[in-house]
């Protein structure tokens, strides 16, 4: 049982025990008055009232949200003493009336002592430290009393009382073990033994109430292991589980009982500080703690003769008075953690006002994006692609959003938001449809393009409806010739997915005469083996290499290597982001096939592209 439930359960027992003391105690006063032994009963009852009043104060003093660890320990010590004293009073009344054999009050004393023992084992079984000593206080005097009878039946009754004591201990202990087992299973992670998500959320509610009462601050960490899926996929889930246990051990050793640790699922952990700090110190302490924890997590792991190097992305959030809901603090820490991942992983991001503003902006972008398609705010621009003679041979369709509220929204902003929200499916289908319609229109007007490139997001590519959607749109807008001109551009990030599934999808579309290009090649996940297996037709050199030509020798070497590999695999090459004559000449000299960038033209509207094409081929009559 966790501390919150444990202390709360014991607090509730105070009222029961007070009631079961004061109400039956009235019977002793009545019996004492009837048999001229009132004074002992009266004194005992006054003591019971005083102890009960103290118990009532202990009951009221329990404010879980306002109490720290030390205050809870002090309260528990007072509670323990209260239970010892109040059950000790029952032993006292037993001793006072056990000698009243002539009035037969000793039977009542024996019965109430047995009853008090049952009450103690029933109400206090959740705490072994309590119910065992209390039962000793109640049963031991009863056993001695039976022995002092100095008759055979007294010896038998003393043995029976010890058996009764054993039965109560056995029953209470079994109930305690069952309770602990149920609570443990409900609130702990089976693999690591850490608290689970359910406990974490409940604990956060408690922490927030403490923070609000104290006017201080604490902090929350969300930890996600980087590329843990790769370990599971390559080395197996059994070894992955061993890694998680090692990670758990390191986190626990670093926290040293000063933090609550939970596993939220998979490779995601959370750590909440137990201590409270002044606001200005909280973030500094949180960052220092996180930095040291990250260093510890990154130390090499040796598991089953495998040497593993694991990093983590950590999002940190201060828990103060700004919000009253646990889910808000958790969400903010989650945002910070994913921000750490987006910035290259292996890092720590503190949630702050700037990040909050960015999140609010992204949420507004997300909301507006839902209506942008309906209101025709999403448009396509077409950037010309030229051959080695600088003759236009194709274009790339690029999406643009001109929002009435935000103005021009950069594609890298709203595309990433659309990816996360799933709106990329609808947006992607809209882009394909508009691009197909444009190519159909140009074909009818006599614009003879050799190729027409369209970007496809990873999420859209892997969506279950992608193949059917493309086929349906191509049947509607394209013919046999124009279909051969379409090149779908996919990024290297696609290669982290199931390669066999990717190849199957590409081949199905190639059977419909579509072609494929690997966009942003050289920036991340490509390997020679995947390049050999992928049924692509074109490599696109990323603009990040082109833009630094002449500045860094490594970029020149990278580009020549990519161009050489393309020739080996018989692939066309396209260089994007060309802005200077020097860049163009370098690419031309090293065998690049197709060129694209602001050196030739910015992305153009449909009408402006037609005019640009006309300049390149003045003899063509556009219908």
- Domain ranges in the chain are 3-187, 197-351, 363-611
- pLDDT at position 524 is 56
Query: Cβ distance 476 to 434 under 8 Å?
Result: no
The rounded Cα 78 to chain-centroid distance in angstroms is 39
* Fold match between domain 197-351 and domain 363-611: no
SS (HEC) of 492-535: HHHHHCCHHHHHHHHHHHHCCCCEEEEEEECCCCCCHHHHHHCC
Between residues 251 and 185, which one has the greater pLDDT?
A: 251
Query: How much is the average pLDDT of 404-427?
Result: 87
Q: What is the per-residue pLDDT for 50? A: 95
Predicted local confidence at residue 475, as pLDDT: 94
322 pLDDT tier (thresholds 50, 70, 90): low
> Among 371-385, 444-458, 492-506, 536-550, which is the least confidently predicted range?
492-506
Predicted confidence band at 413 (pLDDT cuts at 50, 70, 90)?
confident
Tokens (6 digits) for 198: 């359910």
3-state secondary structure of 620: coil
The topology under which CATH files domain 197-351 is Alpha-Beta Plaits (3.30.70)
Average pLDDT, the chain: 87
Q: 376: buried, middle or exposed (CB in 10 Å: 19+, 13-18, 0-12)?
A: exposed
Give dist(CA 562, CA 574) in Å, integer. 11
Residue 132, C-beta contacts closer than 8 angstroms, at least 6 positions apart: 169
pLDDT in tens, 340-391: 888 888 999 998 888 888 878 888 888 888 888 888 899 999 999 999 999 9
Instruction: List the structure tokens of 548.
Output: 């630094």
Token digits for 272?
């909440």
How far, in Å, CA of 68 to CA of 53, rounded? 25
> Pairing state of beta strands 301-303 and 306-308?
antiparallel
pLDDT in tens, 69-109: 778 888 889 999 999 999 999 999 888 888 777 778 888 88
DSSP SS3 for 623: coil
What's the pLDDT tens digit per position in 210-220?
A: 888 878 889 99
Specify whether the CB–CB gap between 301 and 308 falls below 8 A: yes
Report the pLDDT value the prediction gives residue 421, as an integer from 0 to 100. 83
pTM: 0.62
**Residue 468 pLDDT:** 94
Q: Which CATH number fits domain 363-611: 2.40.37.20, 3.20.20.450, 2.40.160.10, 3.30.390.10?
A: 3.20.20.450
Percent of the chain predicted with pLDDT > 90: 40
Q: Give the percent of the chain with pLDDT over 70.
A: 95
44 or 320, which is more confident?
A: 44
d(CA 559, CA 587): 8
Q: 343 CB contacts (<8 Å, ≥6 apart)?
A: 349
Distance of alpha carbon 349 from alpha carbon 594, whole angstroms: 41
Give the pLDDT confidence score for residue 370 in this predicted structure: 83
- Separation CA 96–CA 102 (nearest Å): 14
Q: Are 525 and 496 in contact (CB under 8 A)?
A: yes
pLDDT at 278: 80
pLDDT band at 304 (very low <50, low <70, confident <90, very high): confident
Pair of tokens at residue 405: 């509220």
As beta bridge partners, residue 306 has 303
């Amino acid at each position: 049982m966790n501390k919150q439930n444990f202390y709360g359960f014991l607090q509730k027992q105070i009222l029961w025990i007070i009631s079961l003391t004061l109400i039956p105690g009235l019977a002793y006063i009545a019996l004492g008055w009837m048999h001229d032994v009132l004074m002992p009963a009266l004194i005992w009852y006054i003591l019971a009232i005083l102890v009960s009043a103290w118990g009532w104060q202990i009951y009221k003093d329990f404010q879980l949200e306002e109490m720290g660890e030390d205050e809870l320990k002090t309260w528990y010590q007072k509670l323990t003493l209260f239970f010892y004293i109040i059950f000790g009073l029952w032993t006292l009344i037993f001793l006072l009336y056990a000698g009243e054999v002539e009035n037969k009050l000793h039977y009542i004393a024996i019965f109430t002592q047995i009853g008090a023992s049952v009450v103690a084992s029933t109400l206090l079984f959740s705490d072994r430290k309590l119910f065992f000593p209390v039962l000793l206080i109640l049963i031991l005097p009863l056993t001695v009393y039976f022995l002092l009878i100095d008759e055979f039946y007294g010896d038998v009754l003393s043995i029976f009382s010890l058996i009764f004591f054993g039965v109560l201990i056995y029953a209470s202990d079994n109930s305690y073990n069952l309770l602990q087992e149920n609570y443990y299973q409900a609130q702990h992670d089976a693999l690591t033994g850490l608290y689970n998500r359910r406990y974490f959320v409940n604990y956060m509610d408690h922490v927030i109430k403490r923070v609000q009462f104290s006017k201080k601050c604490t902090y929350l960490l969300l930890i996600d292991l980087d590329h843990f899926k790769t370990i599971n996929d390559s080395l197996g889930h059994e070894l992955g589980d061993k890694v998680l246990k090692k990670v758990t051990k390191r986190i626990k050793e670093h926290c040293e009982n000063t933090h609550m640790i939970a596993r939220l699922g998979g490779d995601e952990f959370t750590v909440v500080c137990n201590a409270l700090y002044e606001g200005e110190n909280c973030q500094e302490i949180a960052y220092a703690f996180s930095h040291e924890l990250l260093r510890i997590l990154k130390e090499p792991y040796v598991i089953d003769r495998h040497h593993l190097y694991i990093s983590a992305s950590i999002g940190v959030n201060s828990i103060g008075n700004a919000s009253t809901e646990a889910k808000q603090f958790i969400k903010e820490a989650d945002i910070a953690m994913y921000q750490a991942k987006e910035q290259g992983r292996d890092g720590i991001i503190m949630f702050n006002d700037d990040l909050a503003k960015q999140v609010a902006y992204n949420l507004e972008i997300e909301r507006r994006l839902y209506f942008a398609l309906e209101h025709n705010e999403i448009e396509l621009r077409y950037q010309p692609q030229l051959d080695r003679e600088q003759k236009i041979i194709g274009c790339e369709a690029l999406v643009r959003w001109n929002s009435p509220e935000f103005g021009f929204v950069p594609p890298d902003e709203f595309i990433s938001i659309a990816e996360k929200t799933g709106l990329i499916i609808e947006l992607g289908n809209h882009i394909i449809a508009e691009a197909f319609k444009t190519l159909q229109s140009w074909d009818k007007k006599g614009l003879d393009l050799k190729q027409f490139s369209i970007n496809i997001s990873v999420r859209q590519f892997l969506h279950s409806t992608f193949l059917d959607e493309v086929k349906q749109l191509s049947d509607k807008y394209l013919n046999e010739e124009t279909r051969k001109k379409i090149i779908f551009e996919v990024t290297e990030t696609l290669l982290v997915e199931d390669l066999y599934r990717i190849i199957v999808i590409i081949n199905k579309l190639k059977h419909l005469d579509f072609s494929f290009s690997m966009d942003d090649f050289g920036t991340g996940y490509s390997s020679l083996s995947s390049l050999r297996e992928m049924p692509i037709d074109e490599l696109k050199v990323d603009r990040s290499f082109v833009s630094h030509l002449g500045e860094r020798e490594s970029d020149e070497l990278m580009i020549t290597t990519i161009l050489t590999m393309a020739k080996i695999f018989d692939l066309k090459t396209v260089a994007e982001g060309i802005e200077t004559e020097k860049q163009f000449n370098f690419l031309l000299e090293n065998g690049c096939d197709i060129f694209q960038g602001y050196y030739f033209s910015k992305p153009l509207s449909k009408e402006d592209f037609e005019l640009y094409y006309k300049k390149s081929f003045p003899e063509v009559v556009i219908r």
